[in-house]
Amino acid sequence: MTTKLDPGVIEKVAVQLRRAQETATPCPPVRDMISAGGVDGAYAVQNANTEYWLSKGRRLVGRKAGLTSRSVQKQLGVDQPDYGMLFADMDVPEGQPISLKKVLQPKVEAEIALIIGRNLDQPDITMAEMLCAIEYAVPAIEVVASRIANWDIKVWDTIADNASAGVFVLGAEPRKIENIDLRYCGMVMECRGEQLSVGAGVACLGNPVSAALWLAQVMAREGRPFRAGDVILTGALGPMATVQAGDVMEARINGLGSVRAIFEAGE
């Protein structure tokens, strides 16, 4: 049984997570403060910070799906993915170094990103409509981050913390998906020739388009529907990898090409 969180608690946790981001100092886990509110309470915290950042001039350009692996869902005791917001300043052009000062406790995941070509306002959007709405696909590297110290997270922590979103890099060669079965797109991510992660599109709820459909339906119900040009990060194709200054991560996805993320210490 869950209870509705007091607005004061929601704001307190939201401020704690913002302060961790702004000071580049991870904070303790927040789950004990919000777990009574369940998943809804965690999303209330995420939404409070979304509204805060929008009021400060940041702009939404997409969403990310997380927990798209059934095994990870089972591990965390949930039965569906989670989601987070993608802001314009999180989109790092390929080739531009990513400062490790900008992203707290970074890890990287290789994903398939879908770019939406039309507005998706209806909560009962069908798979056929979703397929028609996908303008193109690109490989992506998501740099996940955690404002929670030592990645000591449970589902309430990561949802409240914007699904552990950091920044993302999109590949620069968009591909139509009419003749690509995204389920069987194999992925390899390497650093300096060392293989760090392998996987395939089937890891994302069986099909990255299924993950995108779930997310589009949820966003329409929540009043933040996708708009033409929005990005959907559909979920990790394989295990996360840690990064350090000087690393150049490259992810190759069959049928979609490759994408590289460069990391530097920063100032």
Whole-Å CA distances, 115 to 26, 147, 175: 32, 28, 10
pLDDT for residue 75: 61
Rounded CA gap, 188 and 196, in Å?
8
Query: Is residue 66 within 8 Å of 164, Cβ to Cβ?
Result: yes
Q: Is the pLDDT of residue 136 over 80?
A: yes
- Taking the C-alpha atoms of residue 45 and residue 43, their distance in angstroms, rounded to an integer, is 5
149-201: per-residue pLDDT in tens? 999 999 999 999 999 999 999 999 999 999 999 999 999 999 988 999 999 99
CA torsion through residues 82, 188, 62, 120, sign:
negative
Helix (H) or strand (E) holding 232: strand 231-236
pLDDT grade for 80, boundaries at 50, 70 and 90: confident
DSSP assignment of 203-230: GTTTSHHHHHHHHHHHHHHTT--B-TT-
Average pLDDT of the segment spanning 236-260: 95
Does position 266 have pLDDT exceeding 90, yes or no? Answer: no
Per-residue pLDDT reduced to its tens digit, 83-132: 999 999 999 999 999 999 889 999 999 999 999 999 999 999 999 999 99
**pLDDT at position 230 over 90:** yes
Measured CA to CA, the distance from residue 253 to residue 158 in angstroms comes to: 27
Q: For residue 33, is pLDDT > 90?
A: yes
267 has a pLDDT exceeding 90: no
Q: Which helix (H) or strand (E) holds 109?
A: strand 107-116
The first and second tokens of residue 133, run together, are: 């709405």
Domain ranges for the chain: 60-264
Residue keyed to tokens 């990064």: 243
Q: What is the pTM of this model?
A: 0.95
Residue 67 has a pLDDT of 86
Measuring CA to CA, how many Å separate 167 from each of 11, 54, 161? 24, 17, 14
Mean pLDDT of the chain, nearest integer? 94
Pick the CATH number of 60-264 from 3.30.830.10, 3.20.10.10, 3.30.360.10, 3.90.850.10: 3.90.850.10
Question: Which pLDDT value is given to residue 72?
Answer: 67
Does residue 10 carry a pLDDT above 90?
Answer: yes
